[in-house]
Amino acid sequence: MNTSQSAWTSRTWRDRTALQQPHWPDGAAHEAVLEQLSSLPPLVFAGETRELTDRLADVAAGRAFLLQAGDCAESFDTSADSIRDRLRVILQMAVVLTYYTGVPVVKVGRIAGQFAKPRSSDTETIDGVELPSFRGHIVNDVGFTAEERAADPERLLTAYHRATATLNLLRAFTKGGFADLSRVHQWNREFVATSPAGQRYAAIAEEIERAVQFMSACGINSETLTDLRQVDFYTSHEALLLDYEEALTRRDSLTGDWVDCSAHMLWIGERTRQLDGAHVEFLRGVANPLGCKIGPTATAEEVIALCEALNPERIPGRLTLVTRMGATKVVDGLPPLLTAVKESGHPVVWTCDPMHGNTFTADDGRKTRHFEDVLAEVSGFFAAHRFAGTHPGGVHLELTGDDVTECLGGGAEVVTADLANRYETMCDPRLNGSQSVDLAFRVAELLRNGTH
Ligand code: PEP
Ligand code: CO
């Protein structure tokens, strides 16, 4: 039995088990905040979510590539510069991918709402003191005091306002000239530019600039062709706190569809993808394009049942399956799933999250990932698709434009002793700017070899 046979409203998830929800000590204050949220303006418009579904349909058909990337957990303290630099590194990666493969890149940020985190344990114990786990800035704070770890419903409102301000800035940058292709050189930040990947990037930026100058001499420039000046950039986050998502779900006056207006795309995490659970129940009813994480324990039957529940009408672009198997498991684990879904006829986008199956604790006690493991999972993903005759549709990454030292290896060679230098993540380790550009080149090579 799947869930899609019964009637849906934005509240039917409440009859199911919702894992990973915080305990709000002040229930009345929580309810009051939800009431307020439900009367605030939507962050995105239904038409934009439909447009993204169409773009993702191109990805499903092998005509475009999905680059979904950003923070593991966004912070309420993220500066405007840091938001700009995250966008900048994603634009750089997209340029590399497009330039080398000739394939359009659909750009989706883990940004402007990626505030809630699932945790493996409800509590954390340090030196005999047990406190609630940190669940992302939308719930509590990262510091280890009872006050900081208490779930505060006011944070739901702050999350909404932070997401609004972030999205506003992203819209300004992507439509207001920052993303103009003639600025492709200026996206290369100094610390990236000095790395081998940054130097490689500078070389293609030069070629693109020459092409832009040539076109301009022919009368085609960003004044005459807005596509040269603007990029489409979409937002996404894990739809974890269902009462927040419910409060931002609105009816589209044009189509009558229900749309979760907190972001363009929402995904279901590995820990909350139970077929009879609240997250699948909520998301099956909203018209946004959806993602669903698929970890190494998923069976072909489960994956097909998720496709049936989340996309019973088999709309191309509606469902993206984000596989996160781990570098050692992807080659054996992925092909049976690809084949089963292919045979079922479901038109999914397959994308690779090479981050979450490759996390380990370094000798200094910090959570990290090795660039080579990330790359190995992406390579295995491409190999699995070649084997199954399916499209490797994209990558899903945790990164930042900043010069952090959270993941090991990569062009600029971060070693364990460097981790302490700039380890700033509130949750999982992210690729830094030069590791991200380096990875874009490697992915572009894999994609090119697979398509030619
Ligand atoms: C994440 O994307 O940050 C995450 C928690 O991933 P997963 O659900 O795949 O573990
Ligand atoms: Co993460």
Q: Where are the domains of the chain?
A: 12-179+230-448
What confidence score (pLDDT) does residue 80 get?
97
Segments of the chain with pLDDT less than 70: 1-5, 451-452
Predicted local distance difference test score (pLDDT) of residue 186: 87
Predicted confidence at residue 225, as pLDDT, reads: 84
Pick the CATH number of 12-179+230-448 from 3.40.50.1820, 3.20.20.70, 3.90.1200.10, 3.30.1360.170: 3.20.20.70
Cβ of 296 less than 6 Å from ligand 1: no
Is the C-beta atom of 110 inside 6 A of ligand 1?
Answer: no
How far apart CA 448 and CA 452 sit, in angstroms, is 6
- What pLDDT shows up at residue 182? 86
Q: What is the pLDDT of residue 3?
A: 46
Q: Which chain residues have CB less than 5 Å from ligand 2, an ion? A: 72, 428
The ligand 1 atom at the shortest distance from the C-alpha of residue 270 is 8
Residue 72 near ligand 1, beta carbon < 6 Å = yes
Cα-to-centroid distance, 103 and ligand 2 (Å)? 27
- Nearest-atom index, ligand 1, CA of 73: 3
The closest-lying atom of ligand 1 relative to the alpha carbon of residue 293 is: 9
Closest to 84 measured CA to CA, from 186, 229, 158, 197? 186
Rounded mean pLDDT of the chain? 95
**Atom 4 of ligand 1, residue of closest alpha carbon:** 269
Query: Residue 393 contacts by C-beta under 8 Å, 6 or more apart in sequence?
Result: 59, 60, 62, 65, 66, 320, 349, 350, 351
What is the position in ligand 1's atom list of the atom closest to the CA of 324? 9
Distances in whole angstroms, Cα of residue 82 to Cα of each of 252, 301, 449: 33, 42, 34
Is any ligand 1 atom within 6 A of the Cβ of residue 293? yes
Q: How many CB atoms lie within 10 A of CB 411?
A: 21
Q: H-type helices in 120-277, by residue range?
A: 146-149, 154-175, 190-193, 196-217, 242-247
Contact status, residue 100 vs residue 139, Cβ threshold 8 Å: no
User: Which segments of 122-185 are extended strands (E)?
Assistant: 123-126, 129-132
Q: Are 113 and 43 in contact (CB under 8 A)?
A: yes
pLDDT of residue 2: 44
CA 406, chain centre distance (Å): 18
Do the Cβ atoms of 220 and 250 come closer than 8 Å?
no
| Whole-prediction pTM | 0.97
